[in-house]
Amino acid sequence: MIEKRFSNWQFMRRYLRPYSCRLLLLGGLLAISIGLQLYGPQLLRDFLDAAQSGAVTRLLVSLGVAFFIVTVLQKGVTLYTTYLSEDLGWAATNNLRIDLTEHCMRLDMGFHKLKTPGELIQRIDGDVSHLAEYFSRLLVQVLGNTVLVVGILIILFRENWRIGLIGLAYGLLTLGLLQIVAKFTVAVWKDVSKAYANLHGYVEERIGGTEDIRANGGEQYVMNKLYPLLAAVAKNRIRANLIGGATFSSSYMLYVLAVVATLAVAGSLFLQNQMTIGTLFLLVFYVRLMESPIKYIRRQISNLQRAIASIGRIQEFFQLEPDVKENISATLPERATAVHFHDVSFAYKDRLSVNGNPMTDNRSPMTDNGHSKVLHNISFSLKPGNVLGLLGRTGSGKTTLTRLLFRLYDVDAGKISLDGIDVASVGLSDLRRHIGMVTQEVQLFEATVRDNLTLFRNYDPAKKPIADAQILAAIETLGLGEWLAELPDGLDTVLKTGGQGLSAGEAQLLAFTRVFLRDPQLVILDEASSRLDPATEHLLERAIDKLLNGRTAIIIAHRLHTVQRADDILILENGRIAEHGLRTELVTNPDSRFSQLLQTGMEAALA
pLDDT, tens digit, for every residue of 364-373? 444 555 568 8
pLDDT, tens digit, for every residue of 124-139? 777 777 677 666 666 5
Query: Amino acid identity of 539?
Result: L
Q: If you compute the radius of gyration of the chain from its CA atoms, what whole number of angstroms results?
A: 35
Task: Count CB-CB contacts under 10 A for residue 286.
Answer: 22
Distance from chain centroid for Cα 592: 50
* Model pLDDT, residue 351: 47
Most confident residue range from 294-303, 473-482, 560-569: 473-482
Report d(CA 65, CA 46) in Å as an integer. 13
* Model pLDDT, residue 360: 39
Query: Amino acid identity of 429?
Result: S
> Given a cut of 50, is residue 143 above it in pLDDT?
yes
Report d(CA 166, CA 150) in Å as an integer. 13
Asked if 324 contacts 410 with a C-beta cutoff of 8 angstroms, the reply is: yes
Close Cβ partners of 45 (under 8 Å, ≥ 6 residues apart): 276, 278, 279, 281, 282
Domains of the chain plus CATH, in order, are 8-319 (1.20.1560.10), 384-411+426-605 (3.40.50.300)
What 3-state DSSP class applies to 290?
helix
* Model pLDDT, residue 544: 81
Report d(CA 68, CA 253) in Å as an integer. 32
Taking residues 517-523, what's their average pLDDT?
87
Residues in the chain: 607
Taking all residues of the chain, what is their mean pLDDT, rounded to a whole number? 81
What 3-state DSSP class applies to 439?
coil
Longest dimension (CA), the chain: 123
SS (H, E, C) 130-194: HHHHHHHHHHHHHHHHHHHHHHHHHHHHHHCHHHHHHHHHHHHHHHHHHHHHHHHHHHHHHHHHH
> Given a cut of 90, is residue 380 above it in pLDDT?
yes
Report d(CA 94, CA 19) in Å as an integer. 13
What is the strand order of the sheet 552-556 is part of?
435-438, 522-526, 552-556, 387-391, 568-573, 576-582
Taking residues 1-5, what's their average pLDDT?
42
* Model pLDDT, residue 516: 85
Asked if 474 contacts 513 with a C-beta cutoff of 8 angstroms, the reply is: yes
What 3-state DSSP class applies to 194?
helix
263-277, 355-369, 406-420: the lowest-pLDDT one: 355-369
* Model pLDDT, residue 377: 92
* Model pLDDT, residue 340: 94
> Given a cut of 50, is residue 363 above it in pLDDT?
no
Report d(CA 395, CA 576) in Å as an integer. 11
Give strand pairing partners of 389: 555, 569
The structure's pTM equals 0.64
Asked if 239 contacts 188 with a C-beta cutoff of 8 angstroms, the reply is: yes
Q: Is 62 exposed, middle or buried (0-12, 13-18, 19+ CB in 10 A)?
A: middle
Report d(CA 290, CA 33) in Å as an integer. 15
> Given a cut of 90, is residue 72 above it in pLDDT?
yes
Which residue would you say has higher pLDDT here, 123 or 257? 257
Q: Is 121 exposed, middle or buried (0-12, 13-18, 19+ CB in 10 A)?
A: middle
- 487-519 in b/e form (b: 16+ CB < 10 A) is eeeebeeebeeebeebebbbbbbbbbbbbbbbe
Query: Amino acid identity of 558?
Result: H
Close Cβ partners of 132 (under 8 Å, ≥ 6 residues apart): 89, 90, 92, 93
Instruction: Work out whether strand 413-418 and strand 387-391 pair parallel, antiparallel, or are unpaired.
Output: unpaired
Close Cβ partners of 171 (under 8 Å, ≥ 6 residues apart): 149, 153, 290, 294
248-252, 273-277, 489-493: the lowest-pLDDT one: 248-252
> Given a cut of 50, is residue 331 above it in pLDDT?
yes
